Amino acid sequence: MAPVTAAGEEMYALVERLYPLCRSITGDGVRATLEIVGEYVPLRVHEVPTGTQVLDWTVPQEWNIRDAYVADASGRRVVDFAASSLHVLGYSVPVAATLPLAELREHLYTLPEHPSWVPYRTSYYKPEWGFCLAQETLDALPEGEYEVRVDSTLADGHLTYAEHVVPGQVPDEVLVSAHVCHPSLANDNLAGIAVAVFLARALAEQQPYYTYRFLFAPGTIGAITWLARNAERVGRVRHGLVLACAGDPGRLTYKRSRRGDAEIDQVLRHVLTDSERPHEIREFTPYGYDERQFCSPGFDLGVGSLSRTPYAGYPEYHTSADDLDLVSPEAMADTLAVCREAFAVLDRNRRYVNLSPYGEPQLGRRGLYDSLGGRSDAKEAQLAMLWVLSLSDGEHSLLDVAERSGLPFDAVAAAADALHGAGLVKA
């Protein structure tokens, strides 16, 4: 794993700030989150009204919550939203009632196999109310009457998402997406948001080739809303990466796009293999995060997903144990480093055409080749030029050349630059 970096510490500090907020697929928690993110990178925030048709879906009512609790006969709050945003079932309808424990149980969610953890549960599209709590809390509740109160509103409003764009030399876009709908869960997905933010800042310093679009949106409905409202822009998305669960101590996991052989898939495999980090490459599945939407067969974008331990792969997943202890500056710094390495390759990965394809061009005449012949230790730079010339038939990218030749991508890209400078290849 990469050493602790200033960026690692800054990402962790951002996660700490975002952690207490109660996010959901709509509402003020999302807005507060985006406001903080906007302190790091300029955001364009979009508000889409309830009822808007987005592909096969409809933007739901906006949910906001002020307070929620279960109190015992003595008035003591035995489950309290103020202690953790996880305690309330996401999108709970308002309720104010007193009822016996037996009836209350139908609205309580626990994790019997982890009795001290609070689960994360939602009911976005079916009107319900409920509380999530530790099994051991539930076990300690005596029979009797309990007061329950959810002080929430479900009303016409808006769905909120935001975009940040790092302009490039061409309008072709790379889409980087992180979901912002999960409440107090650190790895899923505050770590993903933090890595996206610092990746954007790093790219902005580089005058990249591609235009990089960062999307901070609620999962599923947010991605669907963005796709519905950007029918034209979608055609410009050449590559993409969904960032999720980016800060836990597990090894890196890259999940391929649905295409399986998109350029982003090749780049991530190359960079992860080349870096000698422990990692796993997974085939696409139509389950997980917003790659589900970007890779749906009608769009079928070249969008992969980078995580550390992936979706549902660690016990703390979607529980109160996905907290600030689970994520670390080191892990986030490592995820960020891989993203930067990958985009450094992707951004320079071009297909060239050899303009002197009949025989080798005389490189020596152009100062690109040693004048002393007979030596058996050809230099990497010269080999790289010969490889670029050999494979620059419009079919092979520079990364293909690097992988076929076994030469470092940087050497191949430098050779392509030299040949381009000599007028021997064109992009």
According to the binding rule CB under 8 A, does residue 116 interact with a copy of itself? no
Report d(CA 86, CA 107) in Å as an integer: 14
Q: Is residue 15 a contact partner of residue 191, using CB atoms and an 8 Å limit?
A: yes
Q: According to CB under 8 A, which residues from 382 to 421 bind a copy of itself?
A: 383, 386-387, 389-393, 405
Compute the CA torsion angle 120, 125, 129, 133 (nearest 10 deg): -10
The neighbouring-strand residues paired with 211 are 173
User: Phi/psi at 316 (nearest 5 deg)?
Assistant: -75, -10
Q: Name the nearest CA neighbour of 332 among 313, 314, 307, 312.
A: 307
Q: Does 285 bind a copy of itself (CB under 8 A)?
A: yes
Residues 242-271 that bind a copy of itself (CB under 8 A): 258
Q: Which of 15, 224, 321, 413 binds a copy of itself (CB under 8 A)?
A: 224
38 or 357: whose CB is closer to a copy of itself? Answer: 357
Stretch that binds a copy of itself, among 11-19, 156-164, 198-206, 356-364 (CB under 8 A): 356-364
Report DSSP state, residue 304.
E
Reply yes or no: is the peptide bond before residue 187 cis, omega within 30 of 0.
no
With b for 16 or more beta-carbon neighbours within 10 A and e for fewer, the 86-102 pattern comes to: bbbbbbbbebeeeeebe
d(CA 395, CA 227): 30
Residues paired with residue 54 on neighbouring β-strands, in sequence order: 57
Q: Does residue 223 belong to the site contacting a copy of itself (CB under 8 A)?
A: yes
CB of 142 to a copy of itself, least distance (A): 27
Question: Which residue lies nearer to a copy of itself by CB, 393 or 410?
Answer: 393
Q: Is 276 in the site for a copy of itself (CB under 8 A)?
A: no
Question: Of the candidates 295, 332, 344, 399, which one interacts with a copy of itself according to CB under 8 A?
Answer: 295
Rounded Cα gap, residues 227 and 49, in angstroms:
16
Looking at 61, 84, 92, 122, which residue binds a copy of itself (CB under 8 A)?
Answer: 122
User: Locate tokens 């982003």: which residue?
Assistant: 264
Task: Build a one-symbol-per-residue string for 147-186: x at contacts with a copy of itself by CB under 8 A, - elsewhere.
Answer: ----------------------------------------
Q: How far is the CB of 271 from a copy of itself (least distance, A)?
A: 23
- Those residues whose C-beta lies under 8 Å from the C-beta of residue 299, and which sit 6 or more positions away, are 227, 234, 293
Residue type (1 letter), 200:
A
Under rule CB under 8 A, residue 83 binds a copy of itself: no
Kindly tell me which residue out of 296, 351, 380, 381 binds a copy of itself, with binding defined by CB under 8 A. Answer: 296
**Of the residues 31, 40, 50, 119, which one makes contact with a copy of itself according to CB under 8 A:** 119
Q: Is 299 in the site for a copy of itself (CB under 8 A)?
A: yes
**CB of 100 or CB of 286, closer to a copy of itself:** 286
Cβ atoms 92, 152 nearer than 8 A? yes
The Cα 333–Cα 53 span in angstroms is 39
Contact residues for a copy of itself, defined by CB under 8 A: 55-57, 90, 119-126, 128, 220, 223-224, 227-228, 258, 285-287, 292-293, 295-299, 311-312, 317-318, 354, 356-362, 364-365, 371-378, 383, 386-387, 389-393, 405
